[in-house]
Chain A
């Protein structure tokens, strides 16, 4: 069963393109923040939603939570329409906004009580979350204005998850957390997954996404460029190999899966390896290998490849487009790879 389904979800900001504009300037028109996005997030999975600033990540989240209204297309959360049933959806969802702002005059405890009260569901996970994120009773009694950035982020995590939501939408959840707390947070995510909760996870930190997510969607300029299991995405990535041999270098050209072979002046051999490592290892047999490093593929490389594949567009470097930042993607046709 799918927890979240979008079908051709589209969001344009601003006005329709004006027919008159100054020569040499692009016409002022609608900003296409999200274009025809179709994805399905399964119940119980951790789903990563990736893209650089202005790709449409925040727009997508804001559409799901009813902050924005779609221009076209539709979406459902637990089978309920995001426009008609927004209140009912938010009853079952926990949301951590990116760069969360909190009520500074309240104590942490009072703030969590207030937000819990508004949710209308018992805050049954609060004690456990505070414990794992090392938010002591003493800390919670201090006013939020005295909190560090990391503490605010912890409070943000607790407010999003304290009522044990069926779907958690987390925007840059580890921002401001130290490595120990990041680890504690990943533990919380693992527990939520085990409990069958669904997590929609937006992040810039690709190593983190790789660590926690089951599947990822990558968006570029408001369009979906990839939607895949993290494991399959990585499986298809080439691994970087570096080796050193005592005698003559082995002949690696033509070995299945091996490409970009280079012999460096210092004697090191580098190449890229795709798929099964068997033929490569067989080719090394009989050579005295003194050093061998096979670097696993990382999501970052897959992500960059998907972005580099697309031709740069005029708007990409324009100050106007940059200024749209999180709110929207730049206008213009996308040349990105079609969804798989």
Chain B
């Protein structure tokens, strides 16, 4: 961990971080409103059989309960895109982007071990993701309070939801960083990471909407984001462990590859 590098990273990302935190807090505040406003009508609509039941189970969320609405918010493409700005965008450009721009030259000319650079950037992105997820929790609380459904929420379970989100997005961030340290150009690092996330997300959504594809869900890391279960009081420790293991493997790969790589002169 290197103080000046962390500080520089923080300064360069803080405006973006603020905007994303506000956006995700607003989005998270909106979901209790949807639940409170349309939950009962939607349930009646589904019970009438007009809408297939599977379509109401998008990514493990629904709008018939507060927990389901919050889970829907976590799995929705809006929050996926917002959190990906750091978990994918920042991580893939952290090394490969600097390498492509040529600024990695001046950074690595300083007395810093490459592993130290990696650990500092990893710490920075975990802080960013942690703050974004915390903003989502705050937004949920604010939204639930405004529409008067806070009583349906066990607030003490929100830290576990935050931890579950951290493990998922932390794992994605470590994959992004591992790709970033492995390439000289941003495009392949970004492409590989985005491909992994899109395929994984697709498997989870497909399985949640189509019963025949449910067998694919365990192969998706998004399957182990169990927001509704956590808010209902069920903890999937295996899922927590699996996400932690994915992150640990990606960290191990990055720490093995980056210090050993030859960094030829930028073209």
A residues in contact (CB < 8 Å) with B: 13, 58-59, 62, 65-69, 86-88, 90-91, 93-95, 97-103, 105, 114-115, 117-120, 159, 325-328
Contact = CB atoms under 8 A, between A and B. Distances in A.
B263 A90 contact: no
B118 to A, nearest CB: 14
Contacts, number: 77
Interface in B212-266: 260, 262-266
Nearest to A328: B264
Contacts of B107: 118
A101 B102 contact: yes
A101 B262 contact: no
A70 to B, nearest CB: 10
Interface of B: 2-5, 8, 12, 101-103, 105-113, 260, 262-267
B111 A90 contact: yes
A119 B103 contact: no
Contacts of B102: 97, 99-101
17 contacts: A59-B265, A62-B265, A67-B262, A86-B113, A88-B111, A90-B109, A93-B109, A101-B102, A105-B12, A117-B4, A118-B2, A118-B4, A118-B5, A118-B110, A118-B112, A119-B110, A327-B264
* Chain B binding surface SS class: loop
A101 B108 contact: no
Contact of B109 (A58, A97, A98, A120): A97
A67 B108 contact: yes
B190 to A, nearest CB: 20
Contacts of B263: 62, 67-68
Nearest to B264: A327
A69 B106 contact: no
Contacts of B267: 325, 327
Q: Which of B110, B263, B266, B267 has the most CB of A within 10 A?
A: B110
Contacts of B108: 65-67
Nearest first, the 5 A-B pairs at minimum CB distance are A101-B102, A117-B4, A91-B111, A118-B110, A95-B109
Contact of A13 (B109, B111, B264): B264
